[in-house]
Amino acid sequence: MAVFSLPIPTDTNALLLAAVPILAAAVWYRIQRRRHFNLDAVRGPACSSWLYGNVHEMLAGELGELEREWASQHGDIVRLQAPFNAPVLLVMDPKAVQHVFTYSVDNFHLDRERNFFSEILLGNALPVIDGDKHKRQRKILLPGFSAAEVKSHLGLFTMDAGKLVEKWKRHLDSAKVNSAVINTTSDMTKATLDAIGIVAFDYTFDALDGKENELTKAYQDILFSLFGKPRPQDELFLSIMGFLPASLVRLLLTKGPIPKLQRAQAATKLADGLIERSLRDKQIQASVEHDKSKKDILSLISRAYTSDNDKMRLTDSEMVSTMKTMILAGNDTTSTSLTWALYELAKHPEFQADLRREIHERNTWEPTFKELESMTLLNATVMEVLRMQPSLGTVYRQLVVDEVLPLSTPLKLKNGREISQLPVPSGTKMLVSIEAYNRHSDIWGPDAGEFNPRRWLDANGKLGMKGYSDTMTFGHGARRCLGWRFAVLEIQAFLFQLIGHLEFSPSAGSEKVIRMGGAILTPIVPEEFAKGAQMPLTVGYATMD
């Protein structure tokens, strides 16, 4: 019998039956391909050191510089090298970045080794935990960050911004000058620390008034000193930690003679003491008075703490960790964004003048939440600054399952083959670039690298459809920044006062400023690296219309 005369199954069941082995073979083939895909096939820059790798070159440089160069040579996913030739993927492809954030808590965990350092500062807080623990804690905290709660802090933000304006005006008056160069970043950090102290746990730092406070000093530049400008041997140290059990690493880091970490330990000890004292007072207040009028986050959480529902109750150590997170995650990020906002506006004087006009048109120094929300240029400025200058330029992840990354643009491999999705094995480490997403020309057009707040406006000059969630500045998905509404309102309120009252222009120092990533996007004058964050701008009185 000829082959062609073999009976061909014609009914649906038989067709399905025949399709099963074919489908199974296809699935098996895909799984095998995923498993056996070798990341060495992904292109990346040459690396001269097997021992140190080349990740540190990127983290120690100006944010975005090397990333852009590598993307133009190798594509939007680049293979870098950690010490001992371990692959690290630099992820800049927009679809892949979104995918990582969306599945962060389950599949793309925090980087194990870097997380040990965050743990020293924060304990078992939200930005340090993964999986179900993370989901539970986030559910408890979310109500404290709702739009209604956040609105109630506007008066405080306006007052603190007013204090900063007064301080800089006093500086000009006492020097009897109309303008002077001021290191804006230093006072900005103090002003936002004062705000977060009250907002988070009703604590008065009075940092802007120059009150000596051990905690203020301990937290000054702490993230930059811990994570900023890593050296090759720091990356080697991290890699060696990867071979050790977690308990031994924790022992080494907490008891070892590492100056950076000793400073972090000291800051943590101080913060723990202060927060534990405040916490005890709040718990007594919450249980005795049932005072629902207090809006600070600690009061809100304390009320939850007295809840009868076990699942909705934070433990003592979780409460302390949460408060430390508010100070660390909420302060440097916001003050940095504000500092970069002044820098961008100083470099764009016409736009600064237009924004000032919009502020003066309000005829008030105490705008309501609704008024701030309705201000076209103010919101366009905040969105554009957050796009161009994301406080966290890069986040670190480690895959805990085999995954396939979807890609916006096909990726060319070393052998010339193009792939439209990238299989990545479990355990792979990744640097996920928020900055690359925010400046990607496929999303933002050919002028993606330029500061242009008007890109947020439609043809009628009104705020268009895009909003704060269109950039990756606050992350995305299950780990999206809990405090984004706080940050946006605080930045709006501060810019309203600062631009309304004062005028900012570049100085000789600000022309030299570079953007250091690694930790928080920090403005640094390279030849004065030891001085830490600096943004020297010329500050003068604004012309009142």
Q: Which residues bind ligand HEM (CB under 6 A)?
A: 104, 126-127, 138, 325-326, 329-330, 333-334, 337, 390-392, 395, 473-475, 479, 481-483, 486-487
**Cβ neighbours of residue 3 under 8 Å, at least 6 residues apart?**
none
Nearer to ligand HEM, 298 or 375 (CB): 298
Residue located via tokens 């292109």: 43
Cβ atoms 193, 222 nearer than 8 A: no
Query: Measured from the CB of residue 15, what is the shortest distance to ligand HEM in angstroms?
Result: 46
What is the distance, to the nearest Å, from the Cα of residue 279 to the centroid of all Cα atoms in its chain?
27
- Of 43 and 138, nearer to ligand HEM (C-beta) is 138
Neighbours of 366 (CB within 10 A): 14
Residue 381 C-beta: closest distance to ligand HEM, Å:
14
Closest distance to ligand HEM from the beta carbon of 201 (Å): 11
To the nearest whole angstrom, how small is the minimum distance from the Cβ of residue 491 to ligand HEM? 7
Identify which of residues 235 and 435 has a Cβ nearer to ligand HEM in the complex. Answer: 435
Shortest Cβ 460–ligand HEM spacing (Å):
29
Q: CB of 286 within 8 A of CB of 306?
A: yes
Q: Do residues 223 and 315 make contact, with C-beta atoms less than 8 angstroms apart? A: no
For 407, phi then psi, to 5°, come to -125, 145
Structure tokens at 214: 């051990």
Q: Exposed (0-12), middle (13-18) or buried (19+): which is 172, by Cβ within 10 Å? A: middle
326 or 377: CB nearest ligand HEM:
326
* In the complex, minimum distance from the CB of residue 230 to ligand HEM, in angstroms, rounded to a whole number: 18
98 CB burial (10 A radius; 0-12, 13-18, 19+)? middle
* Separation of alpha carbons 527 and 259, rounded Å: 23
Task: Select from 287, 481, 271, 493 the least CA-distant residue to 382.
Answer: 493
Cβ proximity to ligand HEM, 329 vs 519, nearer residue = 329
**Distance, CA of 413 to CA of 78 (rounded, Å):** 10
Name which of 198, 430, 461, 228 is nearest 331 in CA terms. 198
481 marked among binding-site residues: yes
Q: Pick between residue 219 and residue 474 the one whose CB is nearest to ligand HEM.
A: 474
Q: Taking the complex as a whole, how short is the minimal distance between the CB of residue 129 and ligand HEM, in angstroms?
A: 8
Distances in whole angstroms, Cα of residue 447 to Cα of each of 219, 341, 434? 37, 18, 17
Q: Which CB sits closer to ligand HEM, 45 or 330?
A: 330
